Amino acid sequence: MTTLSERISQSAFDGSRLRVVLLLDLHEGAQQRFLEAYEHLRNQVASVPGHMTDQLCQSIENPSQWLITSEWESAAPFLTWVNSEEHVKMVQPLHSCVRDTRSLRFSVLRETSNIATLTPEPPKGRLQANPRVGDGVVRHALTFTVKPGSEDKVAEILAGYTSPEARVDDTTRLRRTSLFMHGNRVVRAVEVQGDLVAALRHVSRQPEVRAVEEAVNPYLEQDRDLSDPNSARVFFTRAALPAVHHVAAHGSRPEDVRRHALLYPAREGCGMVLARMLARQDELAADDAASPIAGSTIFQRDDIVVRLIDLRIPIDSDPVLSLGVRGPRKIAVLRRLLDTDAAGGLSDDRELARFLTRSDMALITDRRAPDA
C-alpha cells in the first residue's frame, strides 16, 4: 500500500528539523573580508526565531571554498527569514566576497550521537518520520510585478519567446515551464529533472531567453541590470517563490489534466498559515482515488501564496474543490486568512465562484519538453 509520504516529494510543513548547507566559492584574497562580514552576520542570525546553531567551515584542500551549515527547529521559520527583505539586506556585505553560492535544504531524518557526549536535554524539533519518495523533479517559481498599464505588452513578450534547449547536461533537463499573470503580477513556475541551479543558469545563458528578459526590463516595477551580477542576484532573490509543498496522485497522465494557478491574497502575516492549510487539504485530496485533482504544488513567500493545480475537470465545475477547501469549517478558516478586501465574504456559492474566477491566473504559456 502506498503511504501518503511516498506521494509527497516536497514539504516544508512536517515540523521536522532542518539542516541548511550553503556552499560558497570566494574571490581570491577575499577570505578575511568574508570572515569579518560573517562575524557581524552570525550575531544577527542567532536572534532569528527558530534558529538553533550554525557552523562556518573552510576547505582543507582549497582555501577559496567555504561551507556554512545551520540547523533550524523546522523549515517554516527558516523560509520566513530567508525570504524576507531583512535577509536580503543582511547578506549584502557578503556579495562582494563571493564568486558563487549554492544553498541546499534537508529535513533531518536520522541522527547518531556519541553516547558519552549526550546532553541531558535533547535538541529542539523532531526528526522527519518517513522518507519522501518523489518523482525526481524539482519545482520552483519566480514572481515579479510590472508597471500598471503594461500588462498586455508584457504578456505578448513572455508568450512569444523561443523555448531553450531542454537538455542541460547528462543528468539535468528542463521538463516544463508554466507562466501566468494576475493583474500586473507575473508567476513563472519551472519543473526540472536533476539540478535546479544548473538548469536555471543554463536558461539564463540562452540568447533567446536573455532577449526576452531585456525586452521586459523597461516594464518592471523593480529595476534590474542583468549585466551587473549584484543587481541580478538581488532581483532574483526577491523574485524567488519557493515550492513549500507538492503532492501528486498516482496514474495521472499530462493529457488527462489542465493546469491552473490560483493566487490567494493572504492577510498580512498569514501567508505561511494559509499555505499550510491548503497543503493539508491537498494531501486529503490525494488520498481520495476519485479526486479530480491530479497534482498540486504550493508556492509561498511572505503573504504571496500561489497554488498550482492539475485538474481533470473544468475548474469552475466545483469551486470549493478547486479552491482547496472542504466543508464550511475550512471555508471559514480560508475567510479568516484572506485579505477581506480582495477576497470578499465567501459566504455563499456565488461568492466562492466569484473568488475562484478572480484568483485563477491567466495562463500565458505552458511548455513541456518533448518527453516530459
Mean of the per-residue pLDDT values of the chain: 88
Q: What is the CA radius of gyration of the chain?
A: 21
User: What percent of the chain stands above pLDDT 70?
Assistant: 92
Task: Residue 219: name the closest of 150, 269, 316, 165 by CA.
Answer: 150
* pLDDT confidence band for 2 (50 / 70 / 90): very low
Torsion angle of alpha carbons 90, 246, 16, 2, nearest 10°?
-170
- Give the model's pLDDT for residue 122: 58
Based on the number of CB atoms within 10 Å of its own CB, is 358 exposed (0-12), middle (13-18) or buried (19 or more)? Answer: middle
Q: Where are the domains of the chain?
A: 17-108, 137-368
What pTM does this model have? 0.89
- Give the model's pLDDT for residue 1: 43
Contact (Cβ atoms closer than 8 angstroms) between residue 257 and residue 297: no
Higher confidence at residue 221 or residue 131? 221
Query: Taking the CA of residue 80 as centre, how many other CA atoms within 13 Å lie in the half-sphere pointing to its CB?
Result: 18
- Give the model's pLDDT for residue 127: 82
277-294 pLDDT per residue, tens: 999 999 888 888 888 999
Least confident of 34-38, 168-172, 251-255: 251-255
137-368 and 17-108 share a CATH fold: yes
- Give the model's pLDDT for residue 289: 81
CA 185 to mean position of chain CA atoms: 16
Report the CATH architecture of 17-108.
2-Layer Sandwich (3.30)
Q: What would the mean pLDDT of 319-336 be, rounded to a whole number?
A: 90
Give the orientation angle of helix 207-216 with respect to helix 196-205, to 10 degrees.
Answer: 80
155-172 pLDDT per residue, tens: 999 998 888 888 999 999
Contact (Cβ atoms closer than 8 angstroms) between residue 366 and residue 259: yes
- Give the model's pLDDT for residue 5: 46
- CATH 3.40.50.1100 for domain 137-368, yes or no, is no
- Bridge-partner residues for 23, per DSSP? 67, 102
